[in-house]
Amino acid sequence: MPEKLLSIEQKRPQGDWRDAKVEFRKGTICYSAAPKNITYLGLPNPRQWQPFDADWKLPPNWKQTVLEGMKERLQKYRSFRLFMEICVRCGACADKCHFYVGSGDPKNMPVLRAELMRSVYRRYFTLTGRLLGALVGARELTEDVIKEWFYYFYQCTGCRRCSVFCPYGIDTAEITMMGRELLDLIGCNINWVMEPAANCLRTGNHLGVQPHAFQDSIQFAADEVEDITGLPIEVPINRKGAEILFVMPSADYFATPHYYTLLGYLMLFHEIGLDYTLSAYASEGGNFGLFSSHELTKRLNAKIYEEAKRLRVKWILGGECGHMWRVFHQYMDTMNGPADFLEPPVSPITGTRFENARSTRAVHICEFTADLIHHGKLRLDRGRNDRWNVTYHDSCNPSRAMGLLEEPRYVLKSVCRNFHEMPANTIREQTFCCGSGAGLGTDENLEMRLRGGFPRANAVKYVKEKHGVNLLACICAIDKATLPTLMEYWVPGVEVAGVHELLGNALVMTGEKERTADLRGEPLVREEATRE
Ligand code: SF4
Ligand code: SF4
């Protein structure tokens, strides 16, 4: 019941905050990774255990392993070292985390989440901490601290909203990433991250879809486009010498509402005659390695450039996905590049040079489509989206990690007539997370997801009541998977869609039959009063 989750107590913690005892309650945590997945990935300490167990069966040398891992990372990552040192506890970040807002748990304040790690850093890596201990906020690394890390570093979606408000730019998401890396070293990780990662390593995508099944799914989508438009379309897979490799999250071809986004891409590519190919191995843009460690991120990402090289394309176009773009934009070219076998991307339709992608050689589909619209290359009938009253959720990674703020809005306003923004402090750089990113989008921790998603849902509720909004558009596969549940719980009556689903509805394709239904198979409804 929403009323129950709304009774959020924001009060001072009982006793000393350094007391690390955590209550593991079902609904608030994710379950441990199955040993077969840890083994497949070649990660240490696979074993049967669960967070509820008193004995986590930690390896005998667990403490030494964690401290050595911490030392290595303090030497390797300047940002980690800096973030361990510079927080002045001003509190500007304290109420900015959606998990704190939704749970009232003080250890979900970004400053305190980071302090869980800093206190150990002080004890083992600073002179004052070694000499003065608790007096300077240092504490011993104990099994209870490990359990507390697991609890709170898997209650952070790495959304980076807190960092927007920190005067020092401290990025708590990076501290969370370090926490998860250290936990990985002793085999304390979650199945919702490790199983998709293992599948990805084996077949290229999260669900373990093999090449023939991938081809069937894509053909099914092509047939569906033909049913809707009357136009037979071809979707090339593994075609060597194509100009562009298109990479999307696998959810686009096996989940809804993502699937309608895929239909939109295919319609667009057919209409503009794009010379492109899909890859049956780079069949996943998403990268759950990001929710585990830099090393795993790198391993899972490697297939993107490898496939681009094998297929001899000129550049890469990427679909609607959040963390895929965090990796593409912030890590890919330094982790697995330089991709100097590719060319700086140029739109074959408009001639636009995507200077922002000069290094990665990868362009976001919203940049690509916005450029087409800007140059008048698409015929669009906005009235075909009249049944929707749309608002836009800035997915955390595209907005905060790559600054993709205007292009999705430009596309949306070009393809629908009813668009309303949520309040300014809940969108763009300040967007609130869905509450289910970073590998937390399972049902095991549903209570925590609903709590963490509450601030986002609250802003949607505002525009629903004020403007009658009934559709939440977004450009992230995890959002599309988890926001429907969030909406159903907090704001019933609001559906979720990708930007390119709405583009596909509005796109007037050369030679198409008269459309009577939208991509969901629902009858097209126009608002007669505003018909253009
Ligand atoms: S990164 Fe996001 S989830 Fe993590 S502490 Fe900051 S605001 Fe909270
Ligand atoms: S805003 Fe930055 S400096 Fe201030 S308490 Fe938070 S992390 Fe520390």
User: Does any ligand 2 atom lie closer than 6 A to the CB of residue 111?
Assistant: yes
Nearest CA to ligand 2 atom 5: 89
The pLDDT of residue 531: 44
Residue by residue, pLDDT tens for the chain (532 residues) are 566 677 777 666 677 878 878 989 999 999 999 999 999 999 999 999 999 999 999 999 999 999 999 999 999 999 999 999 999 999 999 999 999 999 999 999 999 999 999 999 999 999 999 999 999 999 999 999 999 999 999 999 999 999 999 999 999 999 999 999 999 999 999 999 999 999 999 999 999 999 999 999 999 999 999 999 999 999 999 999 999 999 999 999 999 999 999 999 999 999 999 999 999 999 999 999 999 999 999 999 999 999 999 999 999 999 999 999 999 999 999 999 999 999 999 999 999 999 999 999 999 999 999 999 999 999 999 999 999 999 999 999 999 999 999 999 999 999 999 999 999 999 999 999 999 999 999 999 999 999 999 999 999 999 999 999 999 999 999 999 999 999 999 999 999 999 999 999 999 999 999 999 999 999 998 876 544 4
Cross-strand partners of 391: 472
DSSP 504-516: HHHB--TTPPPP-
Say which residues have a Cβ less than 8 Å from residue 14's Cβ, sequence separation at least 6.
none
The pLDDT of residue 532: 47
Kindly report the number of other CB atoms within 10 A of residue 56's CB atom.
Answer: 18
The pLDDT of residue 124: 98
Which DSSP category does 237 fall into?
Answer: B
Nearest CA to ligand 1 atom 4: 156
CA of 97 to the centre of ligand 1 (A): 5
CA of 379 to the centre of ligand 1 (A): 41
User: Does any ligand 1 atom lie closer than 6 A to the CB of residue 110?
Assistant: yes
Q: Which ligand 1 atom is nearest residue 109's CA?
A: 5
The pLDDT of residue 21: 87
CA of 298 to the centre of ligand 2 (A): 30
Q: State how far the Cα of 483 lies from the Cα of 59, in Å rounded to an integer.
A: 38
Nearest CA to ligand 1 atom 2: 159
Say which residues have a Cβ less than 8 Å from residue 358's Cβ, sequence separation at least 6.
344
Q: State how far the Cα of 451 lies from the Cα of 331, in Å rounded to an integer.
A: 30
DSSP 454-504: HHHHHHHHHHHHHH---EEEES-HHHHHHHHHHHHHHSTT-EEEEHHHHHH
User: Does any ligand 2 atom lie closer than 6 A to the CB of residue 86?
Assistant: no
What sign does the CA torsion over 478, 483, 484, 488 have?
Answer: positive
Write the secondary structure of 439-466 as one string of H (helix), E (strand) and C (coil): CCCCCCCHHHHHHHCHHHHHHHHHHHHH
Q: State how far the Cα of 172 lies from the Cα of 80, in Å rounded to an integer.
A: 10
User: Does any ligand 1 atom lie closer than 6 A to the CB of residue 156?
Assistant: yes
User: Does any ligand 1 atom lie closer than 6 A to the CB of residue 449?
Assistant: no
